[in-house]
Amino acid sequence: MIWHIVRKEIFENLLSLRFMLSLILIISLFAASSFIFVGKYKQQSQDYWEKTNKNVADLSKNLGRLNDLAFFEQQIFHKPKLLALCVEGYEKSFPNYVKFNIFTIGLPEVKASVNFTLPYFSDVNWVFIISLVLSFVAFVLTFDSICGEKEAGTLRMMLANKIPRYKVLLGKYCGAMLTLCIPLLVGLIVSLIIVITSNITGISGLEWLKILVVVILSLLYLSLFVFLGVFVSCRATCSANCMVVLLLMWVSLVILIPSLGRTASNMFSETPTRVELNRKLYETERQMWDNSDKFGKNAGNSYADANDPRMNLPARARLYNALTNAKNGIIEDHHNKMTAQALTGRNFTCLSPTAVYQRASEAVAGVGIGRCTDFYRQAKRYQMNLKEFIRSRDAEDPDSRHLIFDEDNSRGAFDWRTISKRPVDFSTVPKFDEQDLGLGHSLKLAIWDIVLLILFNLVFFAASFVSFLRYDVR
């Protein structure tokens, strides 16, 4: 009997004007988003490889000796993400590159290659279309599912045949979900066809799996809106009132609460500033120099001749390394505070299933705040690998003093030979290559958001089930 109700719901929806308009709108949005993404991805890829190749060329050009490699400041950039087709994650507003040498690494920064005002406009992507448009379509399909049938008198006739109420409820849920799957799947297929035929890049097996997970998350997200629509339809006295209530809920859950994240982060978390960071760096450096003698006699003094008896290179190396470590710690703490503030706002918005769905999709696709923190972590790991490479090559040179510390005098006018001056084979130097997270790691990051989506579904299902059991069809 359930499938009779499902077929009835599907046929009624397919023949309705609201479904046809929704289908045309959604397919058009998916197609438009794909064309926009293809053009943007081509430009991003071109910019990325130009900047990356320039960094490699500069590194090769300045790589005459090992000590040149130690002090060379590299710039590494975000690699364009194919899965930004699914969810953009506000990547245009996030830092996209970082500068560093083997001693220090700065905060991630933004290097714009297009109009700087464009990041303030949201991109249309899969998650954007599903979270805004399809969630509203779910309400449009379910606002009269119970109270509308009561007004028409068909609900009383249906239940007069002693059909269990849970079968009626499940039939209406399945009918609405299968109806929603039609524009969703058609739109996704159209989008993928446009991207694949554009030949911008191939889609790897891992990316196909992540796309599948995003689709499953989308179905979970739409499911809770179907349950919510049925629940309100059970509680409303007429379909017009139900539509008004659902519209208010949609505005609150989809638009209002997710937009309050920035306000919440400013209210409940301290805002770190660049002025405060510079002040801490200056105070730390001054304190280190004032107490330089604790690192050894004459640690704060430098002389042109490394063999001068007043010169204490090991002590000076300890001083500079301690100063470098202290500064790096302050910069990392500043970065952690910035990340924590952003996460505070995101945690507040978990009251909205839209924000939860957005966050889970970003984690699976590898974009957003998680991608920024992971990129910074990979850059620091590469910095350590490069430093170990220099340390191992320096150990092979008997003419080097094997004192690796961040002072230009050690390679400049004074030439203390603290680091080896032997030539370096460029092909042996480690190169940075940003790695995508595996599916298992991505799911681990998204697990709590997935659990929240499931809980939202269970809560709204229970609410609609109990309400329908007590519903008066007269």
Number of H helices, E strands in the chain: 17, 2
Residue by residue, DSSP assigns 405-421 as -S-GGGTSSS----S--
Q: Which residues contact residue 404 at a Cβ distance below 8 angstroms, ignoring those fewer than 6 apart?
A: 70, 102, 317, 387, 390, 391, 394, 418, 419
Look at residue 421 in the predicted model and tell me its pLDDT: 80
Range among 7-16, 249-258, 306-315 rated most confident: 249-258
Q: Could you read off the pLDDT of 371-399 as tens digits, one per residue?
A: 888 888 999 999 899 989 888 888 888 87
Q: How confident is the model at residue 357 (pLDDT cuts 50, 70, 90)?
A: very high
Which residue is it, tokens 């042109």? 304
Look at residue 320 in the predicted model and tell me its pLDDT: 82
Look at residue 250 in the predicted model and tell me its pLDDT: 93
Look at residue 402 in the predicted model and tell me its pLDDT: 75
**Could you give the C-alpha distances from 299 to 287, 292, 315, in angstroms and in order?**
14, 6, 5
Residue pair 365/288 in contact (Cβ under 8 Å)? The answer is no
Look at residue 180 in the predicted model and tell me its pLDDT: 94
The SS3 assignment for 100 reads strand
- Is position 474 within any domain? no
Count the residues in the chain.
474
| 185-201 as b/e: b if 16+ CB within 10 A | eebbebbbebbeeeebe
127-131, 410-414, 443-447: least confident range:
410-414
- Is position 365 within any domain? yes
Phi, psi of 112 (to 5 degrees): -85, 140
- Is position 250 within any domain? yes
* Dihedral angle, C-alpha 145, 148, 152, 155, nearest 10 °: 40
* CA-based nearest residue to 359, from 61, 369, 73, 330: 369
Mean pLDDT of the chain: 84
- Is position 122 within any domain? yes
Percentage with pLDDT > 90 across the chain: 28
Question: Residue 40 and residue 219: Cα distance in Å, rounded?
Answer: 27
Look at residue 308 in the predicted model and tell me its pLDDT: 62
* CA-based nearest residue to 84, from 347, 346, 371: 371
Beta strands in 17-116 (DSSP E): 74-77, 97-100
Structural domain harbouring 447: 2-469
Phi, psi of 109 (to 5 degrees): -130, 170
Q: Could you read off the pLDDT of 278-305 as tens digits, one per residue?
A: 888 888 888 888 887 787 776 666 665 5
Residue pair 5/172 in contact (Cβ under 8 Å)? The answer is yes
Look at residue 415 in the predicted model and tell me its pLDDT: 64
- Is position 102 within any domain? yes
- Is position 161 within any domain? yes
Domain count for the chain: 1
Beta strands in 63-169 (DSSP E): 74-77, 97-100
pTM of the model: 0.86
